[in-house]
Amino acid sequence: MKPTINDIARIAGVSKKTVSRVINDSPLLTEETRDKVKAVISEVGYVPNPQARALALGRNFLIGLVHDNPNAQMILNMQQGILEGLRDTEFAMVVQPVNRSSPTLVEDIRGFIVRHRLYGIVILPPISENDAVARMCVDAGCRYVRMGSAVLDQSEHMVASNDRDAVRDATQFLIEQGHRDIAIVTGPHGFRSAAERLAGFEDALAAANIGLPRSFRAQGEYTFDSGLVATEKLLDLSPRPTAIFASNDEMAAAVLYAARLRGIRVPEDLSIVGFDDTPIASRVWPPLTTVRWPIVAMGRSAAHKLIAGAVDGIDLGNEPSEFLSTLIRRGSVAPPKQ
Whether 334 is in a domain gets the answer no
- Judge if 128 and 232 occupy the same domain: no
- Judge if 154 and 179 occupy the same domain: no
Q: DSSP for 13-72?
A: TS-HHHHHHHHTT-SSS-HHHHHHHHHHHHHHT----HHHHHHHHTS-SEEEEEE--S-H
Size of the chain, expressed as the number of residues it contains: 338
Whether 102 is in a domain gets the answer yes
Q: DSSP for 157-183?
A: GEEEE-HHHHHHHHHHHHHHTT--SEE
CATH number at residue 39: 1.10.260.40
User: How high is the pLDDT of residue 51?
Assistant: 53
- Judge if 179 and 139 occupy the same domain: no
- Judge if 289 and 180 occupy the same domain: yes
Angle at which helix 31-44 crosses helix 5-12, to 10 degrees, equals 120
CA angle, 254 as apex, 249 and 260 as ends, to 5°? 125
- Judge if 198 and 257 occupy the same domain: yes
More confident of the two residues 279 and 65: 65
User: From CA 43, how far away is CA 25, in angstroms rounded?
Assistant: 19
What 3-state class would DSSP assign to 326?
strand
Contacts of 41 (CB under 8 A, 6+ apart): 8, 22, 23
pLDDT higher than 80, residue 338: no
- Judge if 280 and 306 occupy the same domain: no
**273-293 per-residue burial string, b: 16 or more CB within 10 A, e: under 16:** bbbbbbebbeebeeebbbbbb
User: From CA 80, how far away is CA 74, in angstroms rounded?
Assistant: 10
Whether 79 is in a domain gets the answer yes
pLDDT higher than 80, residue 264: yes
- CA distances, 255 to each of 176, 251, 294 (Å): 21, 6, 23
Rounded to the nearest integer, the mean pLDDT of the chain is 91
Whether 206 is in a domain gets the answer yes
H/E segment holding residue 97: strand 92-97
Longest dimension (CA), the chain: 85
- Judge if 205 and 268 occupy the same domain: yes
- CA distances, 1 to each of 44, 65, 165, 255, 309 (Å): 11, 37, 59, 63, 31
User: How high is the pLDDT of residue 56?
Assistant: 53
Domain that holds residue 307: 62-162+295-323
pLDDT higher than 80, residue 9: yes
Q: What is the pLDDT of residues 165-221, one digit of tens each?
A: 999 999 999 999 999 999 999 999 989 999 999 999 999 999 999 999 999 999 999
User: How high is the pLDDT of residue 140?
Assistant: 93
- Judge if 192 and 281 occupy the same domain: yes
User: How high is the pLDDT of residue 237?
Assistant: 97
CATH number at residue 94: 3.40.50.2300
Q: What is the pLDDT of residues 56-110, one digit of tens each?
A: 555 578 999 999 977 788 899 999 999 999 998 889 999 999 998 899 999 999 9
- Judge if 73 and 190 occupy the same domain: no
User: From CA 162, how far away is CA 148, in angstroms rounded?
Assistant: 9
- Judge if 157 and 299 occupy the same domain: yes
Whether 36 is in a domain gets the answer yes
Whether 328 is in a domain gets the answer no
User: How high is the pLDDT of residue 254?
Assistant: 97
Whether 16 is in a domain gets the answer yes
Q: What is the pLDDT of residues 135-155, one digit of tens each?
A: 999 999 999 999 999 899 999
User: How high is the pLDDT of residue 53?
Assistant: 56
User: From CA 173, how far away is CA 182, in angstroms rounded?
Assistant: 11
Q: What is the pLDDT of residues 287-315, one digit of tens each?
A: 999 999 999 999 999 999 999 987 777 88
Q: What percent of the chain has pLDDT over 70?
A: 95
- Banded model confidence at residue 54, pLDDT cuts 50, 70, 90: low
- Judge if 70 and 97 occupy the same domain: yes
User: How high is the pLDDT of residue 59?
Assistant: 58
User: From CA 50, how far away is CA 71, in angstroms rounded?
Assistant: 34
Whether 174 is in a domain gets the answer yes
- Judge if 32 and 153 occupy the same domain: no
Nearest CA-CA partner of 112 in 147, 151, 68, 53 = 68
H/E segment holding residue 271: strand 271-276
H/E segment holding residue 103: none
State how many domains the chain has.
Answer: 3
pLDDT higher than 80, residue 49: no
